[in-house]
Chains A and B, each alone.
Chain A
Amino acid sequence: MDDTLVTSPLQISKRKRLNQRSKTIIYLVLGLTFLLLIAVAGTLLSHAAITTNFMQKNLLPSLQYPFGTDWLGRDMLARTLRGLSISIVIGLFASFISAMIAAILGTAAATLGKTVDEVITWLVDLVMGIPHLLLLILISFALGKGTFGVIVAVAISHWPALTRVIRAEILQLKETNYVKIAGKMGRGKLEIAVKHMVPHVFPQFLVGLILLFPHAILHEAALTFLGFGLPPEQPGIGIILSESMRYLSLGMWWLAVFPGLALLITVLLFDLAGGSLRKLIDPYSAQD
């Protein structure tokens, strides 16, 4: 063979990019830091968020007040952070409860026989069939609004999608050759569940939980914005946004833009983190 033979490129050149695992870790670290910062800041600033100062009202964003002040002279940065931290706590609770419901119902539907499956599938369809916001409003209203009402409303309306995922995953696992073989080897149901099912379904569950979180925050904000959620003393992001509506026409854009952006960033960050985590847990995606 001739050593001087030129080698031609056989693949269209690819740009260098971060690998999936690094990306996921960056998103997760960013998300968690963000979460922690907001939670800490929110607690520290709980007083500043409601302190009024009529000497400093309606100020444009400046160095002293990066997010500006509102019509009562309250620092919008403090209010935004406080609002986010309230939203995040509610979101955490709600998505956790929701995911637990999904795990229990999804597993039950897939393992406890036809009747149970039909009932749960019907329930899933039912909850999914009712317009989301309507359901949220009804439940929250029935429970007397407030933090408790919001948490329960968001938790009760968000489980169906994840329930479907878990049910489908388990049903699919039951049909795999290796699970069927384990059965023929005389392995008990519990052993198969622990060895084959949990390690497969748990990561899916975790991703589902993380992806539920931004949803829960958004819906909490929406509910509060419409006046069916938190009381005005608790400045959740929804409250801040709905209050600022009245002043938007007066040209006070900063009242809505910064809290809105902060909400958007939080939600996006967790959505990205959850999404890239989902790509990672696929056992066949070792390449990439």
Chain B
Amino acid sequence: MILEAKDISFGYKKNANILENFQFTMENQERVGILAPSGWGKTTLCQILSGYTKPQEGRVLLNGQDIHKIKGYCPVQMIWQHPEKSVNPRLRMKEVIAEGDDIEERIIDQLGIERDWFNRFPGELSGGELQRFCMARALGKRTQFLIADEISTMLDLITQSQIWTFLLTEVKQRGIGLIAVTHSRSLMDHIATRQIILDDIDS
């Protein structure tokens, strides 16, 4: 399985592209770490690669198929930086998790999600607890690539190491390709098989 980005250009303003002719290819046994400063457009890149945003030019291909032409469940899933924005505040957690693609009990247990959280609303959970739900939801049976956009920046270190340790074993075991965007070099050294370091322009 291959995820490709071909000649991607994207900008919010005319003549001020944040991505210019961006090329990227990865296979599903790879774990790519992307280190970039804030304001570089990391989130935009993640959204383009996972098909949330259409680039002005270029295409994203999953196994040769345009990602925007995929109907139904998208095998490229993204986990967002802010878990509290990724869940509907009016739904109970069990409804949130039910949106995923047949999430295995095993994943829920390994993420340390406790059963009595299922009846809670998102406002009744901490950021770390919510992010676990978002991770479980993105790890449906048909997921082939996982894009993690600074998913642990807001969490305490122990939670960080918990979720990354889980995520690493999970993607290795299932052969899921992982793209991890981070601003922590030590974290990237720990998880990535390939590193992309984008220049720091902000000091």
- Which residue numbers of A lie inside 8 Å of B, CB to CB? 176-182, 184-187, 195-196, 199-200, 283-284, 286
Contact = CB atoms under 8 A, between A and B. Distances in A.
Contact of B50 (A179, A184, A186, A195): A184
A184 B85 contact: no
A196 B77 contact: no
A178 B51 contact: no
B99 A185 contact: yes
Given A283-B89, A283-B123, 5 more contacts: A177-B85, A181-B86, A181-B99, A186-B101, A196-B91
Contacts of A286: 123
Contact of B91 (A176, A184, A185, A195): A195
B132 interface: no
A186 B137 CA distance: 12
Interface string B58-88: 0000000000000011100110101001111
Contact of A185 (B80, B90, B140): B140
A187 B89 contact: no
B74 A178 contact: no
Nearest to B77: A184
A186 B74 contact: yes
B72 A186 contact: yes
Contacts of B99: 181-182, 185, 187
Contacts of B137: 181, 185
Q: How large is the interface on B (under 10, 10 to 19, 20 to 34, 35 or more residues)?
A: 20 to 34
B95 interface: yes
A107 B100 CA distance: 27
Contact of B80 (A177, A179, A182, A283): A177
A185 B79 CA distance: 12
Given A176-B85, A195-B91, A200-B90, A185 B123 contact: no
B166 interface: no
Contacts of B100: 185
Contacts of B24: none
A288 to B, nearest CB: 14
Interface string B87-109: 11111000100011100000000
What 8 A-B pairs have minimum CB-CB distances, sorted nearest first?
Answer: A186-B73, A186-B72, A184-B74, A283-B89, A178-B88, A177-B85, A177-B86, A185-B99
A195 B88 CA distance: 9
A195 B95 contact: yes
Contact of A184 (B51, B82, B89): B51
A180 B77 CA distance: 11
8 contacts: A176-B88, A181-B99, A184-B50, A184-B52, A184-B73, A184-B78, A186-B73, A186-B101
Contacts of A177: 80, 82, 85-86
Interface string B154-182: 00000000000000000000000000000
A177 B80 CA distance: 9
A196 to B, nearest CB: 6
Nearest to B81: A177
Contacts of B78: 181, 184
Interface string B26-60: 00000000000000000000000011100000000
A180 B123 contact: no
A182 B80 CA distance: 13
A197 to B, nearest CB: 10
Nearest to A184: B74
B172 to A, nearest CB: 24
Contacts of A176: 85, 88
A178 B123 contact: no
A187 B88 CA distance: 14
Given A180-B52, A195-B95, A286-B123, A185 B89 contact: no
A283 B51 contact: no
A185 B101 contact: yes
Nearest to A191: B99
Contacts of B91: 195-196
Nearest to B76: A184
A180 B88 CA distance: 11
A39 B123 CA distance: 42
